[in-house]
């Protein structure tokens, strides 16, 4: 049998390159670089931004389609192994059928079919898929091969979607909303919109690698107190003091890592919403940067996106479990009540409890995966925020980027330092759990003893 994996490169139009061949048990594969995988994810991000998905839900949307794509494209590389076979609750993914098929088409079809079940606006992905298939047909690929390739992609998508249908996401949509606690120090809705708590039931969704969603829950945060000599009061004073003394560099960092998918601006009775990438989307964009700079193959690119997606999803589950377990008050609520009633944070406070920091958690988790794959000194320049009016930023490592993302929350006035630090520890533990499950090397220098 013969499988073909053809790289699709979008420039002005889609051009197909047939290049180097590798052999696997007598089968020949044609494949080039993995930039096409990045383009699939760019289209998915575009849809997620349009549909205003919350950061936790967006992480789920990134994870399943990328797993589907990888489980197809692993057959283009001699040494690749299944990822889903190491994760919880997945059934075995079928191998490609006999005969000639195009594995790029199969992977794209699997990615698209899974993604379409998780989004609202289908237009972007459907149009992109049609353009891709139409372009392939013009190169002379027969309708029979395309249809056979699509059929295999659907078979893989069905396995991935079966797991997704049982992960409790749908059930959480109908669960009761968060009931505010009246205890001192508990979270309350924050200005300017005073929205209800987002995703209070995310802890019920089944993770990919964690044994329980609370497996790595960090120790109790700094004890709430109104006493001016207490650590909590000092933490709040630090937030206020830092936010009032931001230089231009810290302002840029704060804006760069904002990643609030739906910031509201109020002009009298008029409210305007500014839509951006989620934190998970920002890290998937960083993966795209790596794919391009390292000239990764389709299989390696899909592998990197899939592992990062898995780490983001489980990190969000673990973080949100802890947030609604501790329900820690946000700085703006505490400061306005006990220190300065006129104070406002530089960033708009998102609608969920403070501890631990979500940005810090998921950034540390993603950085742990990427550091394991590409090293602790991988320098890169991130331009993913340019479409949102921000300049590029350069980093000497993934952990430098994740640490900066964590600090941005203190600069922005929306997290206490202790919330950021706890998130970093939690994220690294989740990331290393993913690596452990996949038998990949963890980075001991970034392991925490807590």
| Residues 6+ positions from 264 with CB-CB distance below 8 Å | 192, 193, 271, 272, 273, 274, 348
CB 382 within 8 A of CB 285: yes
pLDDT of 13 strictly over 50: no
Kindly report which listed range (133-147, 153-167, 277-291) carries the lowest average pLDDT score.
133-147
pLDDT tens by residue, 209-236 = 999 999 999 999 999 999 999 999 999 9
Distance of CA 177 to the CA centre of its chain: 24
C-alpha torsion 271→272→278→283, nearest 10: -150
Long-range (24+ apart) CB contacts under 8 A made by 98-102 are 98/1, 99/1, 99/2, 99/148, 100/1, 100/2, 100/3, 100/4, 100/145, 100/148, 101/3, 101/4, 101/145, 101/148, 101/149, 101/152, 102/4, 102/5, 102/6, 102/136, 102/141, 102/145, 102/146, 102/149
- The band of 21, judged by pLDDT with boundaries at 50, 70 and 90, is very low
| Residues 6+ positions from 364 with CB-CB distance below 8 Å | 315, 399, 402, 406, 423, 424, 425, 426, 427, 428, 431
Looking at residue 265, what is its pLDDT?
Answer: 62
Q: What is the mean pLDDT of residues 297-311?
A: 97
- The band of 310, judged by pLDDT with boundaries at 50, 70 and 90, is very high
pLDDT tens by residue, 381-419 = 999 999 888 899 999 999 999 999 999 999 999 999 999
pLDDT tens by residue, 105-149 = 999 999 999 999 999 999 999 999 999 888 888 888 899 999 999
What domains, with CATH codes, occur in the chain?
Answer: 3-170 (1.10.606.20), 179-446 (1.10.606.20)
Looking at the DSSP bridge assignments, the partners of residue 272 are 265
Q: How far apart are CA 424 and CA 149, in angstroms?
A: 42
Q: How far apart are CA 398 and CA 365, in angstroms?
A: 10
Average pLDDT, the chain: 89
Looking at residue 136, what is its pLDDT?
Answer: 82
CB 374 within 8 A of CB 294: yes
pLDDT tens by residue, 341-355 = 999 999 999 999 999
Measured between alpha carbons, how far is residue 259 from residues 189, 295, 349 in Å? 19, 27, 12
Looking at residue 33, what is its pLDDT?
Answer: 83
pLDDT tens by residue, 56-101 = 999 999 999 999 999 999 999 887 799 999 999 999 999 999 999 9
CB 354 within 8 A of CB 419: yes
């Amino acid at each position: 049998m013969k499988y073909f994996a053809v790289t699709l490169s979008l420039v002005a139009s889609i051009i197909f390159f047939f290049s180097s061949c590798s052999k696997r048990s007598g089968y020949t594969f044609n494949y080039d670089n993995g930039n096409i995988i990045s383009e699939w994810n760019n289209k998915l991000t575009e849809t997620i931004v349009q549909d205003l998905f919350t950061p936790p839900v967006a992480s789920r949307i990134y994870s399943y389609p990328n797993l589907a794509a990888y489980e197809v494209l692993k057959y283009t590389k001699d040494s690749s192994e299944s990822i889903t076979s190491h994760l919880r609750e997945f059934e075995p993914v079928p191998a490609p059928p006999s005969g000639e098929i195009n594995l790029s088409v199969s992977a794209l079809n699997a990615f698209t079919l899974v993604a379409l079940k998780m989004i609202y606006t289908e237009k972007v992905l459907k149009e992109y898929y049609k353009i891709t298939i139409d372009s392939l047909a013009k190169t002379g690929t027969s309708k029979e091969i395309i249809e056979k390739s699509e059929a295999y992609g659907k078979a893989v998508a069905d396995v991935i979607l079966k797991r997704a249908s049982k992960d409790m996401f749908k059930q959480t949509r109908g669960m009761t909303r968060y009931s505010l606690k009246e205890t001192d120090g508990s979270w309350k809705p924050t200005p300017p919109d005073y929205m209800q708590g987002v995703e209070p039931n995310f802890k019920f969704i089944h993770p990919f690698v964690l044994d329980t969603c609370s497996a790595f829950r960090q120790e109790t945060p700094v004890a709430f107190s109104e006493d001016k000599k207490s650590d909590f009061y000092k933490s709040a004073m630090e937030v206020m003091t830092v936010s009032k003394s931001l230089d231009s560099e810290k302002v840029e960092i704060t804006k760069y890592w904002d990643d609030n998918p739906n910031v509201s601006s109020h002009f009298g009775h008029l409210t305007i919403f500014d839509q951006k990438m989620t934190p998970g989307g920002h890290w998937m964009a960083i993966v795209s940067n790596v794919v391009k700079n390292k000239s990764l193959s389709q299989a390696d690119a899909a592998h990197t996106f899939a592992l990062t997606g898995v780490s983001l999803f489980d990190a969000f589950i673990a973080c949100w479990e802890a947030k609604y377990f501790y329900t820690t008050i946000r700085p703006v609520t505490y400061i306005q009540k006990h220190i300065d009633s006129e104070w406002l944070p530089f960033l708009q406070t998102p609608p969920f409890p403070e501890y631990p920091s979500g940005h810090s958690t998921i950034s540390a988790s993603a950085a742990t995966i990427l550091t394991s794959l590409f090293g602790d000194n991988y320098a890169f320049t991130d331009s993913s925020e340019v479409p949102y009016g921000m300049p590029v930023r350069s980093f000497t490592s993934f952990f430098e980027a994740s640490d900066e993302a964590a600090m941005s929350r203190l600069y922005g006035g929306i997290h206490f330092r202790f919330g950021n630090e706890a998130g970093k520890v939690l994220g690294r533990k989740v990331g290393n759990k993913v690596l452990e499950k996949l038998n990949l090397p963890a980075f001991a220098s970034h392991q925490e003893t807590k």
